Chain A
Amino acid sequence: MKKLSARRRHPLAAVVVLLLALAATGGLYAAFAPAGKAQADETAQSLAIDEGKKLYSVGCASCHGTGGQGTTDGPQLVGVGSAAVDFQVGTGRMPAQQPGAQVPKKKVIYTQAEIDQLAAYVASLGAGPITPNESQVDPAGADVAKGGDLFRTNCAQCHNFTGKGGALTHGKYAPDLEGVSPKHIYEAMQTGPQSMPSFPDTTMPEQEKKDIIAYIKTVNGDDSASPGGLSLGGLGPVSEGLFGWIFGLGGLIAIAVWVAAHTAKAKKS
C-alpha cells in the first residue's frame, strides 16, 4: 500500500487509473447489458423493426427525435405502442401537415405494410398498447344496446350521441366517427390520441370496446335506420330547432305573404 501511495504522483499514474476505470465500466456493461441485441436473429420481426427504423428516420425523426425521445415539435414515442402508430399513421394524422390546435385526419401516406414496420419499430422502443387483430375488433355478435349505454357514458360527451363529433376548447374538436374503421376506433380507445383520454382494457374490457364499435356502426352506416325521420345530420337539438324555426316558420310566413299578395278582386286597380 505504501509503495502504491508513494507512486501516486508518478506521471503515468493518471493513465493507469483511467485504464482501470475503463476496464471496470466495460466489464460491468458486458455483464449487465440487455441480451436482446446480442441474440437478435434474422426473424421477420427484427427485419420489420429494421425497416421501420429506416422509415422512421426519414419520416418521423425530425419531430419525434432520432430515437423516439421526442423534441419540442413532437411528443416522445417510447411506450406509446404499436396501436398508437397504427392509428395515427393509418388515419393519415401522422405525418402531421402543420402545427395547430389539432392534427386532422387526412390522406394516408404509407402503405399498411410500411405502417406495420413503423409500428414494430416504435413498439420496440418501449411496451405499449398492441395493434388489435381482426377478431378483437370484429363487431359481429356484440351487444349493440350495451354498446349504446357505454357510448353514452364514456364517449357521447365529446363525440355526440351517435358519434357525429363536436367542439372542444381553443379550436380542438372531437371528430366525426362515421366511416372510421373498427380497428382505428378500437386503437383510439386504447391509446387516447391527442386530446382524447384513453380507455384501457383495465377499465373498459375488450368486449365492451366491441359493443361500442357495434353501436357506432349500427347508428352511423348508410343503412342505419332513423325512426324519427330526417336526422338533420344528427347534431342534436340546436340544429333541429334552428331547422324548425327557419324552414318551418319561414315556410308558414312565405305562404301567408303569398296569400296576402294575391288579390281576390276581379280586376286589378
Chain B
Amino acid sequence: MSSQEIPEERLPAEQDTAHGAVEVADDPFADPGLPAHRPRIQDIDERAAKRSERTVALMFTMSMLATVGFIASYVIFPVDKIVFIWPFGHVSALNFSLGLTLGLALFLIGTGAVHWARTLMSDVEVADDRHPIEAAPEVKAKVLADFAAGAQESALGRRKLIRNTMFGALALVPLSGVVLLRDLGPLPEKKLRKTLWAKGKQLVNMNTMEPLRPEDVVVGSLTFAMPEGLEEDAHDFQNQIAKAALMIVRIEPDDIKDKRQREWAHEGIVAFSKICTHVGCPISLYEQQTHHVLCPCHQSTFDLSDGARVIFGPAGHPLPQLRIGVNSEGNLEALGDFAEPVGPAFWERG
C-alpha cells in the first residue's frame, strides 16, 4: 500500500457549505505504514538472476586477473623504466602498472559486492521497532535493593580503615604505568639550549664545504653555513644541523638598526639561525632589497636589518643571532654559542 492509495473512507467528504463546517477524517496523520514490497526483475525472472550472477562473477574474475597483473608487473618492469603515457607524461612503468592493477583489483571487488547485494541478495524490508531504554520499575527496585544489601554486608561504611587503604591502593597502582613512560627516551637535558657552535668554530660554506671568508660575502648575497667539524655522514648530522644551520647575509652597517646586531656582526656580515622560532621550519626566503625573511610554513616575517625582529606572523621570538668575528687565518668564526635557544619555544625555555 503506497501513500498515494488512501482508502476511500478516509478522503474528506464534500464540504457542507451551508454551515461552513469541514468534516475531518478521524486521524489525518495516521501512519501509512511501510510501502508494499516490490520485487526486482531478478526475483521474478530466473534468467535475469543468472545474468546478474554472471556479471558479479565476471567482476570478481577480472579482479583476480588484475592481481595477477600486479604480480606480473612487479616481476616484469625494472625500477628505472620510464614510459610515456598520455596524459600523465613520462612516468615510471613499474609505478603506473602497479597502481593501475591494484586499483582495478580493489575497485572490481567493490563493484562486484555492490552489484551482488543490489540484484541478488534478499531485499525484503525488515522493520525493528524502537522501545524505551529505561528498565521496568520492579527491575530497578530490585537492583537498588541488592546494591544496598551488598554495601551493608561489606561493612565498607563502618570499617573506614579498610575503605581508605583500599582507595589508596587503587589510586597508586596506575603510577607503575606512569613510571614506565620514563623509558620512552632519554631526557633532553641541555640539548634544546646548546648547539654545536662554540668560540673559535669556523663557519663552513654549505656549498663548497670550505671556511667562509668575509670578502666572499657580498652585500645582497645569501649563503648557508654550518659549524666546522660537522660531517654530512655523521650519525647525528640531521640532529645537529637542525639546530646549528645558519644563514649569512651582508648588510651595509649603516642600514643595521639594532645596536647589538651591529656589534655581533663582522663588517655588516650577520649570521642568523635558519630555524623559525614558531615551530622550527627552515626559513630562508630572504628578500635582499628589504632584508625581510619569510617563513614558508606560517608566513612569519623577520626583519634582518633590525635584530631579526618579528614583523608579521605567529613567531614569538626574533631569530637568534650568532656572534661572529675573524680568526688569524682570515676566516669567519663564531665567538660563542647562540645567546638563547634556537627554534621554537618550549615549556622550560623561560
Question: Closest CB of chain B to A35's CB: distance in Å?
Answer: 28
* A89 nearest CB across to chain B (Å): 19
> Would A192 and B95 be within 8 Å (CB), given that A226-B90, A266-B38, A269-B38 are in contact?
no
Minimum CB–CB distance from A126 to chain B (whole Å) comes to 14
Task: Check A202 against B218 for contact (C-beta < 8 Å).
Answer: yes
CB-defined contacts of A157 to chain B, threshold 8 Å: 282-285, 296
Q: Which among A166, A225, A228 has the highest number of chain B CB atoms within 10 Å?
A: A225
Contact, CB under 8 Å: B301 / A203: no
Distance of A153 Cα from B119 Cα, bound (Å) = 59
Residues on A with C-beta less than 8 A from B38 are 265-267, 269
- Name A214-269 residues within 8 Å CB distance of B: 223-231, 259, 264-267, 269
Q: How far is the CB of B90 from chain A (nearest CB, A)?
A: 4
A229 to B213 alpha-carbon distance, docked (Å): 44
Mark contacts of A169-204 with chain B using CB atoms, 8 A cut-off: 1 yes-contact digit, 0 otherwise: 100101000000000000000001011111110111
CB-CB nearest in chain B for A201: B216
Chain A residue at minimum C-beta to C-beta distance from B311: A169
Q: Name which residue of chain B comes closest to A265, CB basis.
A: B38
Contact A227 B92 (CB under 8 A): yes
- Nearest B residue to A256 via CB reads B114
Question: What is the CA–CA distance of A199 and B221 in the complex, to the nearest angstrom?
Answer: 6
Q: Is B197 an interface residue (CB 8 A)?
A: no
With beta carbons under 8 angstroms apart, the residue of A166, A172, A226, A228 that contacts B287 is A172
Q: Within the assembled complex, what's the spacing in Å between the Cα atoms of A107 and B85?
A: 33
- What is the CA–CA distance of A265 and B287 in the complex, to the nearest angstrom? 67
User: How many angstroms from the CA of A260 to the CA of B39 in the assembled complex?
Assistant: 17
Q: Which residues of B contact A204 (CB under 8 A)?
A: 207-208
Q: Is the CB of B285 within 8 A of A192?
A: no
Q: Tell me if B286 counts as interface (CB < 8 A to partner A).
A: yes
Say whether B118 faces chain A, with CB atoms less than 8 Å apart. Answer: yes
Q: Does B89 count as interface, using CB distance less than 8 angstroms? A: yes
Interface segment out of the listed B40-48, B156-164, B335-343:
B40-48
Determine which residue in B2, B88, B222, B249 has the highest number of CB atoms from chain A within 10 A of its CB, and name it.
Answer: B222
- Distance (Å) between the CB of A142 and the closest chain B CB? 14
Q: Which residues of A contact B90 (CB under 8 A)?
A: 223-226
Judge whether A153 and B207 touch: CB under 8 Å: yes
Given the complex, which residues of B lie within 8 Å of A264, measured CB to CB?
A: 40, 42, 118-119, 123
Q: Mark B56-89, 1 if CB is under 8 A from A, else 0.
A: 0000000000000000000000000010000111
B100 CB to nearest chain A CB (Å): 10
Q: Does B224 contact A (CB under 8 A)?
A: yes
User: What are 21 contact pairs spanning A and B, CB under 8 A?
Assistant: A150-B207, A153-B224, A154-B222, A169-B287, A174-B285, A195-B288, A198-B222, A202-B216, A203-B212, A203-B217, A204-B208, A205-B208, A225-B90, A225-B91, A226-B91, A227-B91, A229-B95, A229-B96, A265-B40, A266-B38, A266-B44
**8 closest Cβ pairs, A-B complex:** A197-B222, A202-B216, A227-B92, A195-B287, A197-B288, A225-B90, A225-B82, A266-B41
Seed contacts A204-B207, A229-B96, A259-B114; 14 additional CB < 8 Å A-B pairs? A154-B222, A157-B282, A157-B284, A168-B294, A198-B220, A202-B218, A203-B207, A203-B208, A224-B90, A225-B91, A226-B89, A229-B91, A230-B88, A264-B42
Chain A residues in contact with chain B, CB under 8 A?
150, 153-154, 157-158, 166, 168-169, 172, 174, 192, 194-200, 202-205, 208, 223-231, 259, 264-267, 269
Q: Write the residues of chain B forming the contact surface with A, with a CB cutoff of 8 angstroms.
A: 2, 35, 38-44, 82, 87-92, 95-96, 99, 114, 118-119, 123, 205-208, 212-213, 215-218, 220-224, 249, 282-290, 292, 294, 296, 299, 301, 312
